[in-house]
């Protein structure tokens, strides 16, 4: 009997369940000796404290279209992984103990950058681990795609689409804040898909004067409105020049809720425009997975199942050159995949007149 542990860690996304279903169905169909699944509750906490549910293939039926995660999730920051919990428990040793007590053959970790760093740590400690790249931000190094990202793009794009009608009706400038604290993949893709006029992302520091120039140009050409898509982690050129400590201090002193409101205030002060803010927020993580997300999640699940059947561990499932592949957890742990300011999509967006606020 094959024994496989499953956990979902970090921020949730729409296709966690679909990915687990892919793993389960692959093993169910190809494991001759039978398989038993151990679903750990609320991410690494479940593994740490032995909070799990013994599950069979039937428990994963009907999950292809269901968002969120049936196992629950939580954040267990990697930087605190070697610090004892409030009761003095050694977290890493506790997770290893649970794994060995249950005599697991493998642990599948569905998570983003921090979760995969912990997965790599457990792999280094001798556990059989397979990582799967979950994050709406698409910032996991070593893979071209993460599951959750396609669904988040669709939701963010729908928001931009819907704002267009009210913005044009009232002749307003709308600042739409899209998730992307450190990277700008969602705002870039959704901004292009939604026909934004200005897209501001962390990888390209902006100048407010350039933003105003883009808005003024549209106004002078007879456009009644402008759509500004801004990543939650977008920075001005001045902010980008600050040290990490100085930047954190500046954020702490911010008197408005977020960058979108700060930007909206600046636009209103500098031009004779009626400005509004729209923030889809956690809706970008919610709802059902998109069709493309279901496909990619399924592919990730199948590839993970193949790893387990082959006895190949210590890897993360990845899409490389458009094909499903694998990459060592040790190679991706601690790395962040940023948007390349010189990438094709940004060049193409600039050719269509989209401003990134840098020039």
Q: What is the DSSP letter of 283?
A: G
The pair of structure tokens assigned to 138 is 């698409």
Instruction: Provide long-range contacts, Cβ within 8 A and 24+ apart, for 213-222.
Output: 213/355, 214/355, 214/357, 215/173, 215/267, 215/271, 215/273, 216/271, 219/271, 219/273
Options 12, 42, 137, 197, the catalytic residue: 137
In 3-state terms the chain splits into helix, strand, coil percentages (rounded to 5) of: 45, 20, 40
Residue 17's Cα: distance from chain center in Å? 15
Pair 205, 358: CB distance under 8 Å: yes
Instruction: Tell me the CB-side half-sphere exposure of residue 43, using CA atoms within 13 A.
Output: 22
The pair of structure tokens assigned to 171 is 């002749």
Known catalytic residue at 137: yes
Active site residues: 137
């Amino acid at each position: 009997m094959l024994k496989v542990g499953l956990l979902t860690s970090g921020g949730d996304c729409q296709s966690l369940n679909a990915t687990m279903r892919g793993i389960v169905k692959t093993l169910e169909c190809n494991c001759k000796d039978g398989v038993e699944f151990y679903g750990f509750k609320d991410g690494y906490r479940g593994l740490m404290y032995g909070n799990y549910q013994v599950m069979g293939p039937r428990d994963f039926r009907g999950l292809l279209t269901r968002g969120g995660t049936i196992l629950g999730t939580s954040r267990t920051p990697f930087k605190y992984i070697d610090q004892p919990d409030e009761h003095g428990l050694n977290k890493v040793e506790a997770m290893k103990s649970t794994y060995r007590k249950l005599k697991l053959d493998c642990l599948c970790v569905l998570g983003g950058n921090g979760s995969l760093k912990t997965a790599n740590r457990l792999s280094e400690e001798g556990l059989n681990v397979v990582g799967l790249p979950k994050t709406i931000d698409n910032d996991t190094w070593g893979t071209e795609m993460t599951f959750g990202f396609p669904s988040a793009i669709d939701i963010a794009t729908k928001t931009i689409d819907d704002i267009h009608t009210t913005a044009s009706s009232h002749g307003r400038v709308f600042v739409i804040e899209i998730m992307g604290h450190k990277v700008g993949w969602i705002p870039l893709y959704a901004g292009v898909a939604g026909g934004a006029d200005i897209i501001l992302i962390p990888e390209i520091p902006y100048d407010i004067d350039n933003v105003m120039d883009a808005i003024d140009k549209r106004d002078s050409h007879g456009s009644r409105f402008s759509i500004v898509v801004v990543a939650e982690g977008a920075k001005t050129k001045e902010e980008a020049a600050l040290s990490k400590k100085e930047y954190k201090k500046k954020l702490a002193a911010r008197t408005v809720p977020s960058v979108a409101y700060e930007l909206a205030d600046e636009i209103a002060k500098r031009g004779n425009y009626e400005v509004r803010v729209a923030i889809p927020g956690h809706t970008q993580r919610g709802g059902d997975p998109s069709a493309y997300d279901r496909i990619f999640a399924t592919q990730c699940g199948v590839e993970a199942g193949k790893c387990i059947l082959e006895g190949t561990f210590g890897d993360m499932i990845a899409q490389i050159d458009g094909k499903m592949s694998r990459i060592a957890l040790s190679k991706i742990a601690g790395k962040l995949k940023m948007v390349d300011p010189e990438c094709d999509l940004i060049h193409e967006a600039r050719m269509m007149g989209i401003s990134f606020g840098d020039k």
